[in-house]
Chain A
């Protein structure tokens, strides 16, 4: 599959010395915007996040799907005209099914996820600090086991970099536009069924 975005830049890796001044500025500005939007969207709030998992409050899904629709249309259009690179992570069926389930269970216990938890800390929800200690400990535990996991779980159903249009052999741009329309229709009915 030809990836026109590949022609944009030589490499996306930052130099060993760390990001340059301009890049640091983008990290600060975009990070501020992300935290600001998460808090204004209500997803730094304990009850909104748990409410989603209890299927009582659909704010989280509404935000995620809206972001996916807008992001997808823009990113695939920009990529088509070779303005941005795609950043596709490898698909690993075993590791991602198990990892996703574990993550979900942990999310329900803490009530904040890694990104919304950062916004929750800024909002003064101090209980997230217990979770942040856990996030650091869990990351180290993973690193401790990473040699073994690499040879076992991470090899189960290893599919490499794979997108949904690749699986269905449909060109990426039309697929993205069609998926955006379908998701928007889904959101319309979701709003009808769950006003909040």
Chain B
């Protein structure tokens, strides 16, 4: 009863029920460590990046930097003429090294926890879209990445830059962005995994 009340208070009952007839995401491996421990540690990490590097945690500009490098290799004059790259010239800067290290950090964590996946299709994707769905995964994944990058650049950050670093500074635009991200994400995921 009390649980029902809490769910009702959170305003999620209809959405939570709507997800019940589709796939169940909790049938697969969950986290290795408590989310509160990990979240708290990321909070402490933000103190350290502010204090020692005068930087915020963020990830999406890494991909824009890569886009700039590729653009300069293929069409240097055109790429350098674009306003975004004039304001943000691609460079092997702090954020670039940070994200390269994030990849390695993910590897170390998975390696030490026996969680190296070495797979092209996650079982949950296979359960939803079938075994021979590599082409579909490629198209959907590419489109997803492109939408995310465009959205992140328009909003000025991603789930790290706005979702953690911006929100923890009580930045009004970051709270707006992260709410919009969850609305867009929940609606699309519900369509993709429970409706279609």
Contacts and interface: CB of A to CB of B under 8 A. Distances in A.
Interface string A26-44: 1111111111111111111
B106 A68 contact: no
Contacts of A116: 159
Contact of A54 (B30, B115, B170, B189): B189
A30 B144 contact: no
Interface string A107-133: 111110111111111111111101111
Interface in A116-162: 116-128, 130-144, 146-147, 149-150, 153-154, 159, 162
Interface pairs A-B: 6 shortest CB-CB: A134-B145, A35-B105, A66-B39, A104-B184, A100-B180, A31-B101
15 contacts: A23-B94, A37-B105, A48-B25, A56-B24, A75-B47, A89-B157, A91-B171, A92-B173, A101-B151, A113-B148, A130-B137, A138-B145, A138-B147, A139-B63, A143-B83
Interface of B: 2-3, 6-7, 9-10, 12, 15-16, 19, 22-33, 35-36, 38-60, 62-64, 66-68, 70-71, 79, 82-85, 91-95, 97-110, 113, 115-125, 137-190, 192-194
A169 interface: no
Given A39-B106, A105-B151, A125-B117, 4 more contacts: A71-B43, A114-B148, A119-B105, A146-B153
A128 B142 CA distance: 9
Contact of A122 (B106, B152, B179): B106
A115 B105 contact: no
A127 B54 contact: no
Nearest to B98: A31
Contact of A127 (B6, B44, B125): B125
A127 to B, nearest CB: 6
A66 to B, nearest CB: 3
A52 to B, nearest CB: 8
Contacts of B82: 143-144, 146-147
B105 A36 contact: yes
A40 B55 CA distance: 23
Nearest to B16: A55
A34 to B, nearest CB: 5
Specify the main secondary structure of chain A where it touches its partner.
helix
B47 A78 contact: yes
B22 to A, nearest CB: 7
Nearest to A130: B141
Given A87-B165, A136-B63, A31 B97 contact: yes
B144 A70 contact: no
B169 A75 contact: yes
Contact of B110 (A39, A53, A62, A63): A39
A91 B178 CA distance: 12
A18 B178 contact: no
Given A39-B115, A100-B155, A134 B141 contact: yes
Nearest to A11: B54
Contacts of B103: 35, 118-119, 121-122
Contacts of A154: 154
